[in-house]
Amino acid sequence: MSARASLTTEHTIDRAGRGVSRVYGLRSQAPLVLRPTHPKSAEPFTRHATNVARVSLTSGAAGPLGGDHFELEVRVGRGSTLVLNEVSATLLLPGARGGLSQMRITITVEDDATLVWLPEPVIAAEHCNHVQDIDVALGTSSRLLMRDELQLGRHREPPGNLTQRIRVRRVGRPLFQQQLTVGPATPKWRSSAVGGGHKSLGTVLVVDPDWGGDPPSARILAHGAAMFPLAGPAVLISALADDTLTTRRLLDRGVAHLGDPWASEAAAAPSA
């Protein structure tokens, strides 16, 4: 099955004369469904922002099966702010006739625009065979917070093959690029140098032009988690753990250290 969904936001002035972010090109194709939504829970960045558009993605009850080709295209127009979240985790399953499933996500964040992208974990079930490509293009003054979490196999299950490529470029220049390959086709994934047999891993990438050449400094968050200033106005928070809840907690802890405007209200509060 093939499905494409896309979405565009723009900054406009509403009837009361306030600046707002408006969603104007929302196209869904089952099972990829995009819907305007309301704040889900404490979210980063938006604490002080009033002009936020919120959209939520569903990718069907059982997400990409072998043979599926999904594409999502997001454009956050100049000056607008979009929070894109997801209704539930994505479960990658093998298809009836095997074959590769693919998800291609192309994101453009224009100047003075902000994207807060908070998908739920991607779960690589046994025998899945999936490739995910995420391509993000940023302008000089674009902001981004992008979370990404993988769970390798369901409960007590080894993962199938999953390749994930993330590529973030800023005004055409490379900012962050990495490929993760896990599963039986890449046994060295479990090496102590790579994934160490952890069942869950995740990253949060935050790009904030206000940091200039001096992003928040490196910080150790746990044995298997750290925050890295990239070679640009950006940080990567990276965590590996045995379950997705722990990974999420470590990532949130990292975001909390970023302070205003990135920390969510909940995360910024002193931890209990």
Partner 1 sequence: MTPNAALLLLADGRLPAGGYAHSGGFEPTARLQGLNDAAALEDFLEGRVTTSGFVAAAFAAAACAAAHAGNIGRLGQLDPELDARMPSPAVRAVSRALGRQLLRVITRIHPHPVLATLDPHAHQPTVFGAAAASFDLSPQDAALAVLHETITGPASAAVKVLSLDPYEVHSALARLTGLLDELAVRAAAHALDDPDQLPADASPLLDIAAEHHRSWDVRLFAS
**Residue 238 within binding range of partner 1, rule CB under 8 A:** yes
| Number of residues counted as binding partner 1 (CB under 8 A) | 38
Q: CB of 1: closest distance to partner 1 in angstroms?
A: 28
Q: Which is nearer to partner 1, 127 or 198 (CB)?
A: 198
Q: CB of 223: closest distance to partner 1 in angstroms?
A: 6
Contact with partner 1 (CB under 8 A) among 2, 140, 179, 271: 179
**Residue 47 within binding range of partner 1, rule CB under 8 A:** no
135, 105 Cβ separation under 8 angstroms: yes
CA distance linking residue 175 with residue 48, whole number of Å: 27
Name the nearest CA neighbour of 108 among 117, 100, 99: 117
Contact with partner 1 (CB under 8 A) among 82, 225, 251, 267: 225
**Residue 271 within binding range of partner 1, rule CB under 8 A:** no
Q: Which is nearer to partner 1, 60 or 254 (CB)?
A: 254
DSSP character for 121?
A: P
Q: Is 271 helix (H, G, I), strand (E, B) or coil?
A: coil
50's tokens: 């009033």
Query: If phi over 0 gives left and psi between -120 and 50 gives alpha, with beta otherwise, what is residue 249?
Result: alpha
**Residue 214 within binding range of partner 1, rule CB under 8 A:** no
Contact with partner 1 (CB under 8 A) among 4, 22, 154, 167: 167
**Residue 131 within binding range of partner 1, rule CB under 8 A:** no
Listing DSSP states for 243-259 in one string gives SHHHHHHHHHHHHHTT-
Amino acid (1-letter code) at residue 209: P
Q: Exposed, middle or buried, 255 (CB in 10 Å: 0-12/13-18/19+)?
A: buried
Q: CB of 20: closest distance to partner 1 in angstroms?
A: 34
CA distance linking residue 147 with residue 144, whole number of Å: 10
Q: CB of 173: closest distance to partner 1 in angstroms?
A: 6
**Binding residues for partner 1, per CB under 8 A?**
165, 167-169, 173-181, 186, 188-196, 201, 218-220, 223-226, 228-231, 236, 238, 240
